[in-house]
């Protein structure tokens, strides 16, 4: 007697087969991306973690400093004389009292021989802080708690430093900027209705990358809307305006790097952009694009080493957690 096969059984087998076929497509795509070789110079390094949110070149120390998104801390990558070698990450600091939080944006303050690190509760958004460390001894100079296990959700994301040593930290969830003085005291909070564009979906990831301009203002990006803001911090008014950007969208922009008074790099995926302004950042235009081809690794920050721009990518791959810093040529 021939056994009948139920339609549900057939449907289940077909669904499973279809799932395997569909899932194989992105896996194959990821493998092809990973095997691709960027056309520009690359620093590769093995790491202790899969997620590195920010990298900045320390010119005095002759090293890249990288922030540990998974578990918190800061490490260094020291380039070698010979090209092509896979470098090794060395952990410089991991604070026990900050364990479980993410270290995100970093800013090197060479004048005061220190580095500033934005610290956040990555998943719960219940804790935000700014930590400062001595670049020589890695002694913690201060820990400024910006929100401490309160009801308000916050996410300290990136940080910039002005000429007086004041730090400005973006809140990617609460759409505001904390100002912390040179000694680690929270002195004010900068808010504006402009920081909250229309549409709830535009504010899932809000204020992100930030740089200080030597003319006395901040340039800040709002990730999901792509808005670029100019925030005057030279006086007491903290006047906020939207920079009119032409030539392309800045949606999904992440970290910023000031190349000159008239140029910034916006790191992001699927491409990073060069943005220029000739009128003191009232208006600006996207003048060039760069993609490393490693879109699956997610470009998140930019830094300058000896006149060359390098993009940090968040995601590492492989058993040795290999990360890359890719030169961006605009």
- Tokens of residue 299, six digits: 């470009």
pLDDT of amino acid 29: 67
pLDDT of amino acid 85: 87
pLDDT of amino acid 7: 41
- Ranges of residues in the chain with a pLDDT under 70 are 1-25, 28-30, 149-150
Q: What is the pTM of this model?
A: 0.90
CA dist 48 and 70 (Å) reads 10
Per-residue burial over 123-153, b if 16 or more Cβ lie within 10 Å, else e, is eebbbbbbbbbebeeeebbbebebbeeeeee
Whole-angstrom CA distances from 314 to 13, 242, 302 are 37, 28, 12
**1.20.1440.230, 3.40.50.970, 3.40.47.10, 2.120.10.30: CATH of 43-328:** 2.120.10.30
- Tokens of residue 287, six digits: 């003048």
What ranges do the domains of the chain cover? 43-328
Whole-angstrom CA distances from 8 to 13, 212, 219, 237 are 9, 62, 58, 68
- Tokens of residue 135, six digits: 């670049």
User: What is the separation of C-alpha 241 from the centre of its chain, rounded to a whole number of angstroms?
Assistant: 23
The secondary structure of 218-241, three-state, reads: EEEEECCCCCEEEEECCCCCCCEE
pLDDT of amino acid 6: 46
- Tokens of residue 229, six digits: 């803001």
- For the chain, how long is the longest CA-to-CA vector? 91
């Amino acid at each position: 007697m021939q056994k009948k096969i139920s339609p549900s059984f057939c449907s289940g087998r077909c669904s499973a087969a279809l799932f395997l076929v569909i899932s194989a497509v992105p896996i194959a795509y990821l493998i092809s991306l990973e095997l691709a070789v960027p056309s520009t110079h690359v620093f590769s390094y093995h790491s202790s973690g899969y997620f590195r949110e920010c990298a900045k070149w320390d010119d005095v120390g002759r090293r890249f400093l990288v922030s540990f998104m998974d578990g918190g801390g800061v490490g260094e990558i020291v380039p070698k004389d010979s090209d092509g070698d896979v470098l090794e990450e060395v952990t410089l600091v991991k604070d026990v009292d900050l364990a479980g939080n993410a270290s995100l944006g970093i800013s090197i303050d060479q004048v005061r021989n220190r580095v500033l690190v934005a610290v956040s509760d990555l998943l719960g958004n219940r804790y935000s802080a700014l930590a400062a460390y001595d670049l020589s001894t890695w002694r913690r100079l201060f820990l400024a708690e910006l929100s401490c296990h309160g009801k308000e959700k916050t996410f300290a994301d990136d940080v910039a430093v002005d000429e007086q040593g004041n730090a400005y930290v973006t809140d990617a969830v609460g759409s505001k900027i904390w100002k912390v003085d040179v000694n680690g005291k929270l002195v004010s909070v900068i808010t504006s209705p402009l920081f909250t564009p229309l549409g709830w979906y535009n504010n899932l990831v809000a204020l992100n990358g930030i740089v200080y301009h030597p003319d006395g203002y901040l340039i800040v990006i709002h990730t999901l809307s792509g808005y670029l803001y100019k925030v005057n911090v030279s006086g007491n008014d903290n006047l906020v305006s939207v920079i009119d950007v032409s030539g392309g969208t800045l949606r999904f922009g992440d970290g910023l790097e000031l190349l000159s008074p008239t140029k910034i790099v916006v790191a992001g995926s699927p491409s990073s952009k060069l943005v220029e302004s000739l009128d003191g950042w009232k208006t600006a235009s996207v003048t060039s694009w760069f993609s490393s081809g490693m879109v699956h690794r997610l470009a998140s920050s930019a830094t300058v080493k000896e006149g060359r721009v390098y993009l940090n990518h968040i995601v590492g791959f492989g058993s040795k957690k290999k990360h890359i810093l890719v030169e961006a040529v605009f």
